[in-house]
Amino acid sequence: MKLAEGMIAPEQLLRLRVEDLLTREADLLDRWELDQWLDLYTDDAHYYVPPSDVDGDTASPDTSLFYIIDDRTRMQERVVRLKSKGAHSEWPRSKVRHLVSNVIAERTDAMILARASFMVSRAKDITHDIFVGHYRYKIAEIEGALKILEKTCVLDMEALRPHARISIIL
Amino acid sequence: MNLATGIVNDAASSRFLVPRKAFTDQELFEKEYRAIFNRCWLYLGHASELPEPRTFVTRTVARRPILFTRDKDGEYQALFNACPHRGAMVCRERNGKAGAFMCMYHGWTFGSDGHLMTLPGGAGYPEDFKRDPQKQMVHVPRLARRGDFFFISFAEDGEDLDTFLADAGDYLDLVSQHSATGMAVVGGTQEYSIRGNWKLLAENSVDGYHAACTHSTYLDYLKNANGALGATPLSGSGIDLKNGHAVIEYSAPWGRPIASWVPLWGEEGKQEIEAIREELDKRLGSERADRLATKNRNMIIFPNLVVNDIMAITVRTFFPTAPDNMEVNAWTLAPPEESDWLRKYRLFNFTEFLGPGGFATPDDVEAIEKCQRGYAANNNDMFNDISKGMAREGEPSFDDEAQMRAFWIEWDKRMSECEG
């Protein structure tokens, strides 16, 4: 279909809407606005980080040992923990910067599927670690707004080295 | 009494002090490789990782690249993963199945038992060149198994594996007995580094004293998560398993997929857990079954194998790359026959506490890294205090430090016996 001048194709609009969502998420995480970050997710959401020696695009947390297997309850508890001074690994808080790019989005019957590349920098004390990988999102459209159903952070790294931890939210 | 390495071990005054130099000194670090990592039995892998003939995994053990294979007859082989020709690493994959391994440099090709099968341009060499013992991949001097746990030793001589393991052997057997058919490594390895001395992780892995402070947020989480916590209190003992191995064995309020139910798992889960318990009782007798099901164990096998049988099972090794850095690998074991539901809970349970993304391990890492930094403060003149429980009558509590003292006494013995 040829679009009139100034119009935007639906698939481009979808990508822009997803990019807005991902940019907002990155910004909230960088500013440690973790309660607001949770609001981007549905009540039955999941957050996963598979290890480097399985195919992170296809591995299941039900059958492989992951780094992170969070359901919504554990995501909330993760935020509670990270806001506490007793989360020693993140106290004082590290400086975090999420760079998100190469966003691809497609609409299926049930949901929106999106992928994006990321580099996440964590600096604290004498350590400065870079996490590199790609996100796989499942996104729901609820009353016209986009909410995240599932986020999987696939590390494009051979091991979590020299890193020792994923104590921030990727 | 002052031990050879400067460790103070004085029962009369309840003093056990470890010089901080043990964590920072470059010469001691090199000596640890000579005295400990080149002499002790070291964990290599689990039988379930090589399920059939011609399967292989590659691994770095004590800085050396190792190729762990089963040959065409199904025999287990541990080879140095280096070509006898020019030394290039022969197998460059993590794991897989292969009838032969070809070195990418000049194409020398080896069988899964390491023998030289073919080489290009053979006419340029003497006739019997291929059979020259110097032209075969080299076997690690010793390979032995305890149950399905495989160990290697870089020393040609020394005590056999069972003698080395001493009382820790039966604790390894206990882990294997979680399943009637043999435990299996679940896919997925946690591989990370910690910027601290390796012995700090050995201590931390069996430290029952630090939980309340270091892991306060984890304990809060358990209280918040509805039904994740049973009524069982934390209590138990620290046990010296000889030869530097030690364990803390204790009851705890969290659920164990091997037959300790918590309300979070629901009624259906309860029935499944009860059935598992019944099978354990029948197979092992009620005393051993009860211990297996209800007690948690954090075990260190000297020098660097940790087997924690807690809310899930983790098998963890760690090797120093420098006095202030180590590389950690962690796997999890599970009974192959367990239901999809229980497997899912087991993995969910594991990641709750353990590993770089868990609610507890990152704070252990923080403690280890901050110890290492703190050691720079006082020019190595200071000592770490490992005396908790020395003054106590009766058996050591799980939150005493007897298990760490067992580790350090073995460390001292091996370091002071090693000449050069």
d(CA A125, CA B195): 12
Contact B327, B318 (CB under 8 A): yes
The tokens of B304 are what?
């660097």
Buried b (16+ CB within 10 A) or exposed e, B324-353: bbbbbbbbbbbbeebeeebbbbbbbbbbbb
Residues of A in contact with B359 (CB under 8 A): 77-78, 81
Note the pLDDT tens digit of each residue in A47-87.
999 999 999 999 999 999 999 999 999 999 999 999 999 99
The pLDDT value recorded for residue B226 is 62
The pLDDT value recorded for residue B263 is 84
Q: Sign of torsion, CA B248 B249 B252 B257?
A: positive
d(CA B308, CA B300): 8
Note the pLDDT tens digit of each residue in B125-166.
999 999 999 999 999 999 999 999 999 999 999 999 999 999
Residues of B in contact with A54 (CB under 8 A): 187-188
The neighbour count for residue A119, using CB atoms within 10 Å, is: 14
For chain B, which residues lie within 8 Å of any Cβ of chain A, measuring from their own Cβ?
94, 186-195, 214, 216-218, 220-221, 224-225, 325, 327, 331-332, 340, 343-344, 347-348, 350-352, 355-357, 359, 361-363, 365-367, 369, 373
**For an interface test with A, which of B216, B364, B366, B371 has the most A Cβ atoms less than 10 Å from its Cβ?**
B366
d(CA B248, CA B210): 13
C-alpha to C-alpha distances, B138 to B7, B85, B401, nearest whole angstrom = 39, 12, 41
For chain A, which residues lie within 8 Å of any Cβ of chain B, measuring from their own Cβ?
49-54, 59, 61-69, 73-74, 77-78, 80-81, 84, 86-90, 126-127, 159-167
Q: Sign of torsion, CA B92 B150 B415 B370?
A: positive
Place of tokens 């080395």: B164
Nearest of B107, B106, B41 to residue B78 by alpha carbon: B41
Nearest of B419, B32, B24, B332 to residue B200 by alpha carbon: B24
In the structure, what pLDDT confidence band is assigned to residue A4 with cuts at 50, 70 and 90? Answer: confident
Residues of A in contact with B362 (CB under 8 A): 87-90, 164-167
Before B84, cis peptide (omega within 30)?
no
d(CA B78, CA B59): 10
Q: Sign of torsion, CA B222 B225 B228 B233?
A: positive
pTM: 0.95
Residues of A in contact with B311 (CB under 8 A): none
A89 to B188: CB separation less than 8 angstroms, yes or no: no
Mean pLDDT by 10 residues, chain B (420 residues): 86 95 96 97 98 98 98 97 98 96 98 97 94 97 98 97 98 96 94 97 94 90 74 87 96 85 84 93 96 95 96 95 97 94 90 91 96 88 94 90 95 92
In this complex, which of A64, A86, A165 lies closest to B356 when CB atoms are compared? A165
Note the pLDDT tens digit of each residue in A125-155.
889 999 999 999 999 999 999 999 999 999 9
Place of tokens 């001074």: A85
Q: Sign of torsion, CA B373 B377 B379 B382?
A: negative
A12, amino acid identity: Q
Contact B76, B68 (CB under 8 A): yes
Before A162, cis peptide (omega within 30)?
yes
The tokens of B115 are what?
């023998």
pLDDT at residue A1 above 70?
A: no
The pLDDT value recorded for residue B258 is 86
ipTM of predicted complex = 0.93
d(CA B145, CA B183): 14
Residues of A in contact with B344 (CB under 8 A): 61-62
Residues of B in contact with A127 (CB under 8 A): 195, 369
Half-sphere exposure of B64 (CA within 13 A, CB side): 21
Residue A157 backbone phi and psi in degrees, to 5: -135, 155
In this complex, which of A62, A63, A67 lies closest to B190 when CB atoms are compared? A67
Note the pLDDT tens digit of each residue in B365-378.
999 999 999 999 98
